[in-house]
Structure 1
Amino acid sequence: MISFLFRMVTLFLLFSSIAFGFTYIFLGSPTDEDWGFLFKTEFDELPVLAIIFITIAVLSFVISMWMSSVARSRETSATRYVKQLVEPDFTLKKKNVSFTLKKALIQANDLIETQRKSLQRMTNEKAEANDKLIQERIIAERQRLARELHDSVSQQLFAASMLLSAVTEQEDALGTSKPTLQQVEKIVQQAQLEMRALLLHLRPIALRNNTLAQGLTDLIQELQQKVYFNIDYRIEEIELSKAEEDHLFRIAQEALSNTLRHAKASEVELLLIARDNVGILRIQDNGEGFNIEDDKSTSYGLRNIAERAVEIGCSYKIVSVPGEGTIVEVKVPLGNKVDEAASLSKRSDVVELEKKEEATE
């Protein structure tokens, strides 16, 4: 708003100065005799001078509106391009982009790709270094799992055993055992789901001699025999680094664990596919969903998913609608080496833009 008013006032003063200059050239010095008709001559009860100023004001307003609209359009376009820079499959397809903006976008995208691949390389080196600590991690993971099993599943199973004891002491004629047994059944089922969700955290060992696709397939086939909901999956073999496979498998575990514990879903879909040189891992359920801003029940798991995705240079998306379900999606650029042809093409584009700018100047 302030910029609009500034443009309008500036244009008004500019046009007024131009009008005064032309009037001075044609009528000479401002005297009563030469300039008096501007005040005395009227059209629709308005003097000529007032009509001139009104015309200048309207013209300034219209031009200011047009300039503001163009500025907003350019700002929106630039903002859209900047947001797209973080996507691994970013391409600049618009031909009406200025040379300066195109050059800046290409350079920014090169920098982001370099940083992403550097982060992936560091993650791979970290994963290789951590191989020496696998045994200690296995022990620590089992201890953590034992504590969680004791604090969650054991307590629920204890409650179930107490209820069963109460049922056996009741008389058959009272008719109160049926709702109690139903309650026991729900508790036991929840305990089983909790147990399976916690046991998922031991599964990365299965990837030691398997690919990510094989590990996910084995995990889902095992879960299908134990859970009460349907799991549809589509898994393709994708060439990934050791660190990427480990992190993506952990992300899938975390998402499935959250589904078992909290979603109460009847259907779950898992996809691992490659499209346009981008690997996509998506876990979707039709459960209760939650408000990401308010619900803290899965905040720890979501934070783990986000941290693991960022650590290997991936983009991630978590969408949940209460009553509709939840979607967890991770995109990872395929390949660890820079495509030399694409890199050379980008560099040639930058050089060409620089030459054109120098020629224009």
Structure 2
Amino acid sequence: MKILLGQGISIFIILLALVALLLYALWGFPNEDAWWTLLEMTYAEIPFGAWIIIVLAFISFSFSLNTLQKVRDQEKKIEKGLRPLLEAETFVPVNKKQAYSKRLHVTTSQLEQLILTQRKTLQRITNQKAEDQDKLIQERIVQERQRLARELHDSVSQQLFAASMLLSAMVEIEEAQQGEAPKTLLQTEKIVQQAQLEMRALLLHLRPAALHNKTLREGLEELLTELQEKVLFTIRYRLEDVQLSKGAEDHLFRIAQETLSNTLRHAKATEVDILFVERDDLAIFRVQDNGVGFEMTEGKNGSYGLQNVKERAVEIGATCKVVSVPSQGTIVEVKLPIEKNAELIKEGEPENDTNIISG
């Protein structure tokens, strides 16, 4: 309302000044003979001077109202055109009648591009920040796992080993003196040995999954060699060099850790066979033991360790198969399709299945 009154009064003053200049040009400087007749002559008992003022006021405020209405209509058009930008849409005029002027259309298009560019930049910065935070968290998790593994190995693991040695010596002494060791002593020795296996499985699980510029075969061989020195059962393995992506190798290495950790905890096996080979454009990783096995029920098959193995296999596009028979053992097999470059395949090169590396 204030805008309407202010604009109307301004136009009225301008029109009144133009009429005064026109009368001055016709009658000269105001005098009683010329200008006074505007007050003496009347129409409908209203002087002509008053009619001039009324008409000028009507024209002024009508023009002001019409202009204000057009401005508001244009604002609505602009708002309607810019609203899609707030909703991540593309600015497009509705039709030719509602389209803006050429200059305003160009300005709006530039504004659209600026907003879209700023939005993409903010999204990229946000995504990068989230990725950096995830990377930092993963690095801290790995460092914490390494610290825990070192402390457990240097303290609890060594104490369990010492306790196991003392119990073994006590059992030998009792058997030498009395011909048979007490059952409680044998049970205690068995519990300590089981605790050692649990600790080794935990240390294996805490081992970092990164291969540190090693191939998967080298990483697995180092892992199995180190593990063989700490367990009482026999480990046999056949490992081949298979060309895989870095992500696939890291996932398969973690799958190997999970599977071997489950074997240490639950299998009670005397023999474990590990296979990692390439056959028919498939990378095959298999762990087989002769342990106690388990019933392939829904609850057991969905246990935490096996579920992790299956999820990691799915993440790299592999298939995971678990077969277990009570009192006969368990087989965990992961098959990953290999995308090969045809130029790297040597024609007529025979496959060698006879090289078996055993530990």
Q: TM-score scaled by structure 1?
A: 0.49
Q: TM-score scaled by structure 2?
A: 0.49
User: Which structure carries more relative contact order (alpha carbon 8 Å, separation 6+)?
Assistant: 1
Q: Between Structure 1 and Structure 2, which shows a larger proportion of helix residues?
A: 1
